[in-house]
Amino acid sequence: MSAQLELLRAAQAGDREACERAVTENSGLIWSIVRRYYGRGVESDDLYQLGCLGFLKAVQGFDFSYGTCFSTYAVPKIAGEIRRFLRDDGMLKVGRGLREQAQLLYTSRERLRQRLGREPVLSELAEDTGLTPEEIAQADLAADAPESLQQETADGLTLEGMLGTEAPEEAMVERIALREAIDQLPEKERMTILLRYFKSLTQEQTARVLGVSQVQISRLERRGLQHLRESFAP
């Protein structure tokens, strides 16, 4: 058994010194995630403490029998602890109205799936719910889980191919940060990326939903992806 696994087992068993050593030895991993949440009105040291709490929760919940790399398991736990704090007490808090819209969308989407025998497009959801496309996009972004970077559009494109990833733990960080980066895009670019990569529509279908030309969608998509690349630049 490796020294790291022995340390993690000791920490999981309640050895306080082992817990402290595990946090210290993995501080680089914790800080790599903490940096994604700078500028949210919370001091970096406080974010780090939240990250450490998430890390220790990962230690307690890790199953050594699965053979999974611990860092891969720990990353979403660390990020989740930070995001939970920001959502409940900070700038990421989702308002009641947005939650109600998300529930309305969920009910409408399920009803339309049964009626149409396929996934409803944005224009059909807007007609069924009475929400504007912008309201639907905001509710989807607020309520959906982070998307996989490997998810393909109808054209076979992936966000991973556009943004790029390195180590497995870095890929996990990218998945978590991706949704936040999309939320910061200008409205039309955000809508285009949402429809193309989250709803898997073609450029032609996206153009029909948004009432613009396919050429405009192509330009909006390129600009949106460029902004995302810049967000993920070292």
Q: Which of 11-25, 92-106, 157-171 has the highest mean pLDDT?
A: 11-25
CB-based contacts of 141, cutoff 8 Å, min separation 6: 179, 182, 183, 190, 194
Q: Is the pLDDT of residue 194 over 50?
A: yes
Q: What's the average model confidence in pLDDT over 103-122?
A: 82
Q: What's the average model confidence in pLDDT over 175-198?
A: 77
Q: Which CATH class is domain 3-89?
A: mainly alpha
Give whole-number Cα distances, 225 to 53, 136, 184, 189, 194, in Å.
Answer: 34, 21, 12, 9, 11
> Where is pLDDT greater, at 42 or 157?
42
The least confident of 15-19, 121-125, 127-131 is 121-125
pLDDT single digits (tens) 212-233:
888 999 999 889 888 887 776 5
Give whole-number Cα distances, 16 to 7, 19, 118, in Å.
Answer: 11, 5, 54
Looking at residue 154, its pLDDT comes to 47
pLDDT single digits (tens) 128-166:
999 887 677 666 655 554 444 445 454 455 555 544 444
CATH 1.20.140 fits 96-232, yes or no: yes
Looking at residue 31, its pLDDT comes to 92
Looking at residue 62, its pLDDT comes to 82
Query: In the chain, which residues fall in CATH 1.20.120.1810?
Result: 3-89
CB-based contacts of 16, cutoff 8 Å, min separation 6: none
Distance of CA 214 to the CA centre of its chain: 27
**pLDDT confidence tier of residue 234, bands split at 50, 70 and 90:** low
What is the C-alpha to C-alpha distance for residues 88 and 76, in angstroms, rounded to an integer? 17
Query: In the chain, which residues fall in CATH 1.20.140?
Result: 96-232
CB-based contacts of 45, cutoff 8 Å, min separation 6: none
Q: Is the pLDDT of residue 168 over 50?
A: no
Looking at residue 224, its pLDDT comes to 87
Looking at residue 138, its pLDDT comes to 66
- Report whether 142 contacts 180 (CB < 8 A): no
> Where is pLDDT greater, at 161 or 8?
8
Determine which helix (DSSP H) or strand (DSSP E) holds 6, and give its type and residue range: helix 3-12
Looking at residue 147, its pLDDT comes to 44
> Where is pLDDT greater, at 99 or 124?
124
Q: What's the average model confidence in pLDDT over 180-196?
A: 82
Q: Is the pLDDT of residue 199 over 80?
A: no
Q: Is the pLDDT of residue 193 over 50?
A: yes
- Report whether 56 contacts 152 (CB < 8 A): no
Looking at residue 170, its pLDDT comes to 47
